[in-house]
Chain A
Amino acid sequence: MYIRVLHWQPNAGHTVSSQILAEVSQCVESINGVKEGKWKATLSFYRPVLKEQANAAEFPRDFLGISLPEQPSKYYFVLRGQRLVLEADSTIQTIMEKLQSYKTRVALNFEGFQYQLGDFQLRVGKVVSIQSESLRGIVMEMEYRPISSWEKSHKIMGEFFDIWQEALSKRSLPGHFVHMEPNFGEFGLSGQYTLQHTAVQYATIMLQMIATAQSVRN
């Protein structure tokens, strides 16, 4: 398994829409992607419960909790600023609730359909806020199944990505998919791909999506 997570970057002056999501899904099917079923990942922001707000800077500002479809019994914490990723049993969420030192604030769902193309699996998903159900973005996961080594999969993934970008460009959509590969080594992760790598990619995407949303507002 080696996965690359992409997110939709709208062109200046444009926003993401369900029409774009539909076009992306149709594009996958046009390159013979076979629809397999649904998928869902979730991302939560954890904020400290403080006695005095003045000391907020002592505590991490980007403490994220992520659940991934491949392992429903696991949960992932990412402290992006401190380059820390942790894999835990999903009961860690209950522990955090009982500690009451951190509360979950905004939560996002990533959900959609997955498709099989030979040795690749593609997941196309909308990013939806749990509170408002409004469409916040579009993500894609590209998975190369046979090999978990970054070194060996990197080139093959790059070639597949180019094929995909070319197919999508024919639809002249107002935007494109972006991949920003985090420095996995900084997170203490090895060259063998794991779901902790995926969690770090989702955490990185959040930063990109927040930046995009802020630039649109500005």
Chain B
Amino acid sequence: MECVVQGIIETQHVEALEILLLGLCGVHRVRLRVHELCLKSGPNLGSEASEVRLLCDLEQPEPTWTVRHVGGSMRGAGADQISVLVRTMVESKVSKNVLRLFYLLGYKLDHELLRVGFAFHFQRSAQITVTVSSVNKMLKLHATDEAVPVTPGIQLVEVTAPASAENYNEVAAAVSSFCEYLAPLLHLSKPGVSTGVVPTAAAAAASLMSYGGTTIM
């Protein structure tokens, strides 16, 4: 299970966001370069269609692979009252021939993306991860060196935290509370609920750059 919120920020304000996150999280960022392959079951496989994501971390000395299954999100009155999305999510690290395995099992490549950016992993009442990345598409199959941004000038910010059936309320509250600190720069909400950029972002970014610009170096 995980709690998730997303938002967008203009690329010109990412440096300011990074300064803010460095101050809030107290840890160094890690670089992110992940090739994400979304596979869907072929027409005859399964009584219902299924989808699985393969993530290849290209930032490691040897590319490492993870399989991720994202399930349904919580619904109902209880879910509506929570400002973050709570959904089932299971991951497994795997050895490198996982793509071939799923092709042989009858899965097909639906689409692939390259996410490039950075992430902060830290503890604040919950294990929280903030990723800031540009989402890029490949012009040729698997050509990660020739990827171009899907939305030039705009980057995706995602805040996630693992949760369980016993503690998702507390985790959701921790994520929500953290997101309030980012409000001057961006608005974070449940995936699928689009909110656009924040009008105060430019002023907030200028303020952050003037105070903290030198600390990044």
Which residues of B lie under 8 Å from residue A99 when comparing CB positions?
Answer: 41, 46, 50, 52, 69
- Chain B residues positioned under 8 Å from A29 (CB to CB): none
CB-CB < 8 A to A58: which residues of B?
Answer: 42, 44, 106
Cα distance A102–B95 when bound, in Å?
20
The answer to whether B95 touches A86, judged by C-beta atoms less than 8 angstroms apart, is: yes
Report yes or no: B95 in contact with A88, Cβ–Cβ below 8 A.
yes
Q: Is the CB of A100 within 8 A of B46?
A: yes
Q: Tell me which of B50, B69, B92, B104 contacts A82 (CB under 8 A).
A: B104
Highest count of chain B CB atoms <10 Å: which of A52, A59, A86, A102: A86
Please, which residue of chain A has its CB at the minimum distance from the CB of B48?
A100
Which range contains the number of B residues in contact with the other chain? 20 to 34
Chain A, residues 88-101, CB within 8 Å of chain B (1/0): the string is 11111011001111
- CB under 8 Å from chain B, chain A span 62-104: 63, 77, 79, 82, 84-92, 94-95, 98-102
* Total number of A residues with any Cβ neighbor in B under 8 Å: 31
Bits for B48-67, please: 1 = Cβ < 8 Å to A, else 0. Answer: 10101000000000000001
Partner of A49, one of B42, B43, B45, B88: B45
Instruction: Tell me whether B215 is interfacial, beta carbon within 8 Å.
Output: no
Q: How many A-B residue pairs have CB under 8 A?
A: 89
Separation of A92 and B94 alpha carbons in the complex (Å): 9
Q: A79-B101, A99-B52 are in contact. Are A91 and B91 (CB under 8 A)?
A: yes
Interchain CB contact (< 8 A) of B67 among A59, A84, A88: A88
Assess whether A13 is interfacial by the CB under 8 Å rule.
Answer: no
The answer, yes or no, to whether A55 is at the interface (CB within 8 Å) is yes
Q: Which of A145-197 contact B (CB under 8 A)?
A: 188, 196
Interface of chain A residues 100 through 121 with chain B (CB within 8 A): 100-102
Q: What are 12 inter-chain pairs, A to B, with CB distance below 8 A?
A: A48-B105, A50-B44, A58-B106, A84-B97, A87-B95, A88-B93, A89-B93, A91-B91, A92-B94, A94-B69, A95-B90, A101-B105
Residues of B within 8 A of A (CB): 41-48, 50, 52, 67, 69, 71, 88, 90-95, 97-98, 100-101, 104-107
